Structure 1
Amino acid sequence: MTTSLSDAAAPPSQVRALDVRLLPAALLTWASVLLAAYAGYRAVLIGALILSVAALGLAVMQPRVSFTIHRSVARVLVAVLLFGAAVCAAAGARAYSAEMSPLRSLAVEASQAQLEVIVRSDPRLVSPGPDGRPRFLIRASARAYQSATQPDQWAQTRGVLTVFASGHAWQELRPGETVVLRGQVSEPSRRDFTVATLFARGDPQVIAESSALQRSASDVRASFIGVVSSTLGEEQAQLLPGLVIGDRSAMSQRLRDVFIATSLTHLTVVSGTHVTIVCGAVLLTARYATGSRRLSAVVTGVALLWFVIVCRPEPSVLRAAAMGSVTLLALISGRRRQALPALHAAVIVLLLVRPQLATDLGFALSVTATAGIVVLTPPLTDLLVRRRVPKLLASVLAVSVTAHFVTAPLIAGFAGQFSVVGVLANLLAAPVVTVSIVGGYAGLLLAPIWTGGAAAVLTVTGIPVTWLLAVARYCAGLPHALITVPAGLAGAGAMVVVIVAGVLSIRFRRSRGVVLAAAAGFVALFVPVKLLSVAGLYGPGFPPRDWIVAACDVGQGDGFALSLSPGTTVIVDAGPDPEAIDRCLRRLRVREIDLVILTHMHADHVTGLPGVLRGRQVGAVAVGVGRDPSTGFDVVQDAVASAGVALVELNEGQELQLGDAVLRVLGPPTDRARFLAPNDQSLVVSITSRTHPWPGFTALFTGDAEEESQQWLLAEYEPSDLRADVFTVPHHGAGTTIPRFISTVGPSVSLIGVGADNSYGHPHADVLATLQTVDSIIGRADDHGLVAVLARDGELVVVGERASVPVS
């Protein structure tokens, strides 16, 4: 989402005469592609017809309307309408191709198939499977398929696929390779012209290598990453590939969280800064060597193509490269560079060639930041200079402030977050960013041919990289570095209003009274709405409707909800307060429950049961063999009797079918459960889904199981039986959880039911440290309130109600 300072370095005269002639075309293109993605080909083709009729009508009636509309304006309107019709037709054709693909028919039936595909992306490591093997997400283009019903017949097809696959063999795939793979074809989870999602089984069979250029680029990447890993420290080696080529695969979850909190993630995305450095160096060298402007531009274009292949065609890379290409064409033609038309042209071309970008948040952030910098940075710089700020500092400050705030509504709308320290972090990072990137590119060029030289250059480059890490850690550690804001359209709109109000109050003194009055009115409206939200009667934007696992804020106790598919909901424990758990379930829109599991009989797990049963259709309430303390079991019996709900017992080794999911009871051991301490009597259950959000997704619920139970589980079961994507930390994070148990489970997300300022010291610092060592995202009810776990592109995303849980 960054661009180079050169993009913003236009003199004030140019700012006053912005060239926005291509803006309507860019907006029409984006709107048409979005309509095709979300409404389907029929809607967008109807739009094309309407625009064509409107253009024809305006053209026919032009002589009559020339008295009220200037003839040149009418011609422009006709041209815009015809262009809109054309892009609608193009987007409709792409949508039709995706919707009518034979793979979509197989996906609807969740059929097995064998496919021949071309790999389009590097394998991206996502949440591991239940067997502990690494799991990868790969983008691919289908070429042919063979269905299970016609195993001897290959049929040609086209379309973009998302592939999920487990096993080390998938990590070796490279973009451009043609492979044959097998698996279950399912419907795509996102509306971005993806034809289907394939859950692959077995290993891929490579039948054709990638091109020589792609192999060369992969070798360069591998050499560079190898030298970085052997030369720099752990965190430096994780960060530098992201700074140079946008490869964030080595970054730990903790490091990603720090960069998210400080709004520095744009540094690990290839942007206009990178293209400016590469193209500038090549252009100057070629111009010096050849003396020809056009030949230099051609050489630079080839270098830019190689650069894109090395960095991979990610949305930000394509945006930056497209702008660079437009600039090179302007150079060849002898015309002066114009950043804004170049951006608009880049958007149009990229959306027509890669319509998936229309729904990509990274692409939207990149375009928004670039447009904001081009338009707003020069006047803001002039304003700061007039206030006696040194020009260089004014330029850096203007870029940081503009990029941060113009993208804030998008980030708020999609993630419900706002980085308070973002501007400060970017200001502190700015002096070393270019140095780090230049040093990284020097190492990238040297790594394949001279390892020693590359190591020497990268050792020096490690110094500014260390500064970046220190800045990120310091700023992320400041109080309220990352705050939660309303998500969705409401959050984005609110952020726009706040930013506009702030700008008006700074720029115009007379508007400050109006802004203060509006702020007072907002507070007067917001406080009642917030109270209703806390009461569970109204929830603007939170929790999201597509939650998978939720941890309710029930005070010092446990209350978890699991929703693996429509109509399949499981509640695990009810907390100490019926009102708190009832309010949480209303906010989660839970009206029907297949099964309520009470792990053991302590009051902080069972007393809230009447709130769970209140006004809901419940299949059954399940308890374990243990009944201690008896007062807790009495509460359970009274609640189920009053609600007329069945009470069942779960035993070790038992399996239940819950829709598309399987529930396995792992503990406690039936033969001695009654002789264990109440906490170790806790039911430990593993619930695995066959389909949603992906085959093999597993949640492990542990109640208050302490060291004795955990040791028994480790001795009784294979590690693959205990692995889970989502893990409820035993006994509210008490120090009785052993590190080996956590490392064996290896959770991507860990949820802790714990009350704020509790007298037990929960959660224990050692347990939190162990969870961090396995790169688990930690959601805590005391810090975050209600916590919701979602699935996005094969990864788990965690959002919290009060304070933001960093997004993975």
Structure 2
Amino acid sequence: MTALVLLGRSAATGAVTAGLMAAGALAVAVLTPAQRAAGPRNAVIAVLGCAAAVAGSVAFRVHAVGTGPVADLAGRNASATAEVVVTDDPRATSRQGGPFPRESFVVPARVEAVGTGAGRAMLRAPVVLFVSGAEWRSLLPSQRVEVSGRFGRADPGELLAAVVLVRGAPRVLSGPSWEQRAAGALRSGLREAADVLPPEQRGLLPGLVVGDVSRMDEQVKADFKAAGLSHLLAVSGANLAVVAGAAVALARTAGLPLAARAVLAAAAMVAFAVVARPSPSVLRALLMGGVAALALGTGRSRDGVAALSVTVLGLVFFVPGLARSYGFALSVLATAGILVLAPGWRDRLSTRMPRWLAEATAVAAAAQVAVTPVLVLMSGQLAPVAIPANLLAGPAVAPATLLGFAVALIAPLHMGLAQLLVRPAGLATGWIIEVAEHTAPLPLGVIPWPGGVTGLLLLAGAVPLAVLVLRHRGPRLIVLAVLTGLVLAVTVAAPIVARWPPRGWLLVACDVGQGDALLVAAGPGRAVVVDAGPDPVPVDRCLRSMGVVEVPLVVLTHPHLDHVGGLDGVFRGRAVGAVVVTPHGAGEREGVRLSTDLARRHVVEWAARPGASWRFGPSELTVIGPTAEASPPGAGEGAAVNNASVVVHVRWAVGSALLSGDVETEAQAELLRRGLPPAEILKVPHHGSGRHDPAFLAASGARAALISVGADNGYGHPAPSTLAALRRLGVRAYRTDLSGDLAVVVREGALAVIARGRAAPSAGGRQAPGPGRQG
């Protein structure tokens, strides 16, 4: 708590606090007789002494990062060239900015030399580098590189001398240390051996074993997060405890004495730390693993709690920044919950179930209960689904970890044997993937809860009340009945009242954020996908919710990220026939990258041409744009690509829809000139951008408009002028940011729009007016 409060304060504040705490400890020692209340007296002295030590450590580090040449450069937002040592793995950030941007990374580092106006200064100052470019991905911790960039101040509370916006690629000055080089080789061997597994398993196994999620499927990541299994993807004390436990078991089988077992367990954990890469987080996990191994070996939770307390105190003293680390807090609280709560819960449960099941249930529940306050602070939600998810996944975690560890050690020596051994590890990871996939969407699996301090205070009040109520049989039965009714209402009644997918759907605008992803019905379990949104997870979720397992055709209207970035989600576990792309811009950077990606997937790529037509199930799709000639120019390169969008007209037995991509004013005028087929449903161009031709909207003849747009986007979409134009024409607008997924269905012989999610502003689910009728 002392470190948490003092981080972000001045060094003087920390020094004064340290002095006051030390003076308090001395006063208690001098003024309180040792013979009276020796226990409380010593406890007070210990607490004040530890607080004084931590306050002094924080003050020293705050002063260190706030002074010197790097801090001076940051204060002036100056640019400079520096030599830095990478201190942790580069972490990829989400893609932002424009179509197919360069890969971006955050790189923890330490400046050891920097050029200033007075010359070259030698120092050791922690910084964070913000970089872009694939060449950063391969850097290993301990490598020394030269960088140039602009220095800026770090956020208050961060023990950093600066943040550096780096320009260009790094100039490598030296290679990694031997242990980092060994770790890189072992991790590379694990990835190579895992290539024989299915894609989802090969991506997850390195994540489970060494925290390497570089190849992990985005949908699996999302499922892990929703199911409360994300902690399995970070190297923690649990990983090392599994390895140490296996070493102890082998040593016991071999009849080795206790001292030899302890040495073997320590050696196994150190070896695992090398494989996982000796970064600060792994070294912290090594200490936590030691705590868990101590408690496991002694069978005394009090020893484990004491060791945990000493470990936390030592880590916060030497690395005060951990006091503001959610990951550190989760690790500590989960370990504490297992040590303190799990034994008692296990003993109570063992009277009603087998002891092994009682222990597994108690461990999962205790860890989840202990970390709930931090989860409320972080995300503002409660995740009861995490308990059954961890309970089901738990038996597979240890085999996957141990087999993966063995594969990493064997792969550099004999790849064939490693690939043979990796297959059972793949079975274990496959089970965990299945658990995550099936528990993530469970009703009431994640319960919304106020976030921040407010949510924490509500939780603090709710827990004692719940304990008080549940202690008595009568109230407990009432609560159980209410919860049972709620679960039945959500799982049984809700799907009946608001059935999804709606029967006989023809078109769906998926809620994928700021982007486009449309599904056109192509028969049972089949759909044509028109654009894939910016991210694989939402489009895959939408396809799953509609029961789509086969995609005979994908139409990518144009190669901007918000339309093609989620392509992996379309391909995930589905057969894809062919992909239609715009005939223009093939020489552009975006088009070339898209074509390269499709070639990698071994998928047929067709260039759209006006008049091309396909029929799938109830839907007939016809390309009406762009023309074979060059697309109309626009206001900038982005507008030119938008105007090259593939425009598709979809006909059904009872009506039609116009899917207009991102065409802007110039392309809309060209479509009008050539003749625009009427349609009852219009997918509004470019997320409702203000660059629209009112005549285009009127000529479409639509009476319902679908606007695919992200909530609170920074583009001002949809534009007020566009919404006003639709209102003047009597067109009812439906927006994914307000209503979630939007489905076009047949009701009473005409097309209607049904909104799946949040309260729609425009009578979702009512019939869309047909041609010639007022809406």
Equivalent residue in structure 2 for 1:448, among 371, 394, 412? 412
Asked if 2 retains the 8 angstrom alpha-carbon contact of 1:674 and 1:681, the reply is no
Q: Per-residue displacement from partner, 1:83-119 (whole Å, max 9, x unpaired)?
A: 3212211121111111224322222322111111111
Shift in alpha-carbon separation, 1:71–1:182, aligned structure 2, 3 A? same
Amino acid aligned to 1:212: W
- In structure 2, how many angstroms separate the alpha carbons of the residues matched to 1:781 and 1:680? 16
Contact 1:124 1:249 in 2 (8 A): no
AA partner of residue 389 (structure 1):
M
Contact 1:416 1:485 in 2 (8 A): yes
Deviation track 1:319-346 (CA, whole Å, cap 9, x = no partner) reads: 4311344688999999999211111111
Displacement after TM superposition at 1:291 (Å): 5.2
**Offset from partner CA, 1:389-441 (integer Å, 9 cap, x none):** 11111111111111122212211111112223222212221222222222222
Match of 2:102 in 1: 133
Q: 1:62 aligns with which of 32, 42, 63?
A: 32
Q: Distance in 2 between matches of 1:761 and 1:301?
A: 63
Partner of 1:805: none
Aligned equivalents of 1:170, 1:260: Cα separation in 2: 27
Q: TM-score, normalised by structure 1?
A: 0.60
Distance 2:472 2:260 in 1: 51
Residue 45 of structure 2: aligned partner: 78
**Corresponding position of 2:243:** 278
The offset of 1:359, in angstroms, is 1.1
Structure 2 counterpart of 1:253 = 218
Alignment of 1:597-636 (within 5 A): none
Do residues 162 (structure 1) and 128 (structure 2) align?
A: yes
2:162 paired residue number: 196
Distance 1:297 1:704, change over 3 A: farther
CA–CA separation in structure 1 for the residues paired with 2:111 and 2:148 = 12
Q: Deviations over 1:750-791 (max 9, x none)?
A: x943436867579xxxxxxxxxxxxxxxxx9974689xxxxx
Query: Tell me, what secondary structure is at the counterpart of 1:380?
Result: helix
Residues 502 and 664 of structure 1, relative CA distance in 2, 3 Å threshold: farther
CA separation of 1:729 and 1:482: change in aligned 2, threshold 3 A: farther
1:680 to partner: Cα distance: 11
* SS of structure 2 residue aligned to 1:494: helix
1:553-564 equivalence runs, <5 A: none
Q: CA deviation at 1:72?
A: 5.0
| AA matched with 1:90 | S
- Which gives a bigger RCO, structure 1 or 2 (Cα 8 Å, sep 6+)? 1
The answer to whether residue 12 in structure 2 is matched with residue 42 in structure 1 is: yes
Counterpart of 2:319 (choices 350, 354, 357) is 354
Give the paired residue count. Answer: 545
Aligned partner of 2:739 in structure 1 is 755
Contact 1:673 1:681 in 2 (8 A): no
- Kindly report the root-mean-square deviation, in angstroms, between the aligned alpha carbons of the 2 structures: 4.3
Alignment match, 2:171: 205
Taking a change above 3 Å as real, the CA distance of residues 664 and 51 of structure 1, as seen in their structure-2 partners, is farther
Does the CA-based 8 Å contact 1:405-1:499 persist in structure 2?
no
1:483 aligns with 2:450: no
Number of the residue aligned with 1:305: 270
Alpha-carbon distance in structure 1 between the residues aligned to 2:147 and 2:59: 30
Assess if the C-alpha contact under 8 Å between 1:408 and 1:495 holds in 2: no
If you compute each CA radius of gyration, which structure gives the higher value, 1 or 2?
2
1:507-656 alignment, distance < 5 Å = 507-509=471-473, 653=635
Cα deviation, residue 314, structure 1: 5.9
Give the aligned partner of residue 655 of structure 2: none
Contact kept? 1:121, 1:174, Cα under 8 Å: yes
CA contact (8 A) 1:115 1:142 kept: yes
Q: Deviations over 1:496-546 (max 9, x none)?
A: 333333333333448869999xx9xxxxxxxxxxxxxxxxxxxxxxxxxxx
Deviation at 1:177, TM superposition (A): 0.9
- Asked if the contact 2:8/2:156 (under 8 Å) is kept, the reply is no
1:703 Cα deviation after fit: 5.9
CA distance in 1 between partners of 2:260 and 2:121 (Å):
45
Q: How does 1:73-472 map to 2 (within 5 A)?
A: 73-128=40-95, 130=97, 132-147=101-116, 149=117, 153-189=119-155, 191-228=157-194, 230-283=195-248, 293-294=258-259, 297-298=262-263, 300-313=265-278, 317-325=282-290, 338-386=303-351, 388-472=352-436
Partner deviation per Cα, 1:470-496 (whole Å, 9 max, x = no partner): 111111232343332111011122233
Instruction: Tell me which residue corresponds to 2:599.
Output: none
Please say if residues 323 and 342 of structure 1, whose CA atoms lie closer than 8 Å, have aligned partners that are also in contact. no
| Matched residue SS, 1:183 | strand
Q: Which residue of 2 aligns with 1:789?
A: none
d(CA) in 1 for partners of 2:741 and 2:253? 68
AA of the residue aligned to 2:18: A
> Which amino acid in 1 is paired with 2:192?
G
The amino acid across from 1:486 in the alignment is P
CA contact (8 A) 2:301 2:339 kept: no
1:32–1:87: 8 Å Cα contact kept in structure 2?
yes
Partners of 2:688 and 2:83 lie apart in 1 by 40
Q: Quick check: 1:106–1:185 contact (8 Å CA) kept in 2?
A: yes
Instruction: Tell me, in whole angstroms, the C-alpha distance in 1 between the residues paired with 2:68 and 2:247.
Output: 43
Q: 1:267 to 1:280 in 2, by over 3 A?
A: same
Secondary structure, in 3 states, of the residue corresponding to 1:199? strand
Q: Distance in 2 between matches of 1:393 and 1:71?
A: 43
CA pair 35-312 structure 1, distance change in 2 beyond 3 A:
farther
The secondary structure found in structure 2 opposite 1:753 is: helix
Matched, 1:473 2:473: no
Secondary structure of the residue aligned to 2:450 is coil
Distance in 1 (alpha carbons) for counterparts of 2:166 and 2:210: 28
Residues 217 and 306 of structure 1 are in contact (CA less than 8 Å); yes or no, is this contact kept in structure 2? no
Cα distance in 1 for partners of 2:70, 2:717 equals 44
Secondary structure in 1 aligned to 2:109? strand
- Unpaired runs of 5+ residues, structure 2, are 484-512, 515-632, 644-662, 697-711, 720-734, 747-753, 761-775
CA distance 1:326–1:107, shift in 2 (3 Å): same
1:495 aligns with 2:459: yes
Post-superposition Cα deviations, 1:196-219, rounded to whole Å, max 9, x if no partner, equal 111111111121222212211111
Counterpart in the other structure of 1:768: none
User: What letter corresponds to residue 304 of structure 1 in structure 2?
Assistant: M
C-alpha distance in 1 between matches for 2:77 and 2:107: 19
* C-alpha contact (below 8 Å) 2:54/2:320 kept by paired residues: no
> Residue 381 of structure 2 contacts residue 449 of structure 2 at CA under 8 Å; is this kept in 1?
yes
- Work out whether residues 412 and 491 of structure 1, in 8 Å CA contact, stay in contact via their aligned partners in 2: yes
The one-letter amino acid of 1:78's match is I
**SS at structure 1 position matched to 2:29:** helix
Q: Given the superposition, is the C-alpha separation of residues 88 and 372 from structure 1 closer, same or farther in structure 2, using an over 3 Å criterion?
A: same
User: What are the residue-to-residue correspondences of 1:718-797 with 2, within 5 Å?
Assistant: 752-755=736-739, 783=757
User: In structure 2, the residue corresponding to 1:338 is in which secondary structure?
Assistant: helix
Contact persistence 2:9–2:157 (CA under 8 A): no
Task: Give the TM-score normalised by the residue count of structure 2.
Answer: 0.62
CA contact (8 A) 2:87 2:109 kept: yes
Is it true that 1:52 corresponds to 2:22 in the alignment? yes
Query: Partner of 1:577 in structure 2?
Result: none
Looking at structure 1, the residues matched to 223 and 102 of structure 2 have their Cα atoms a distance apart, in angstroms, of 27
Amino acid paired to 1:37: L
Question: Do the aligned partners of residues 479 and 145 (structure 1) sit closer, same or farther apart at CA in structure 2, a change above 3 Å counting?
Answer: same
**1:437 & 1:270 partners in 2: Cα distance?**
11
Deviation at 1:241, TM superposition (A): 1.0
Give unmatched runs, 5+ long, in structure 1: 1-30, 520-549, 552-650, 656-661, 685-699, 710-724, 733-750, 763-779, 787-808
What is the letter of the counterpart of residue 11 of structure 2? Y
Q: Which range moves more in the overlay, 432-441 or 370-379? A: 432-441
Q: How does 1:708-723 map to 2 (within 5 A)?
A: none
Which AA in structure 2 matches 1:489?
A: V
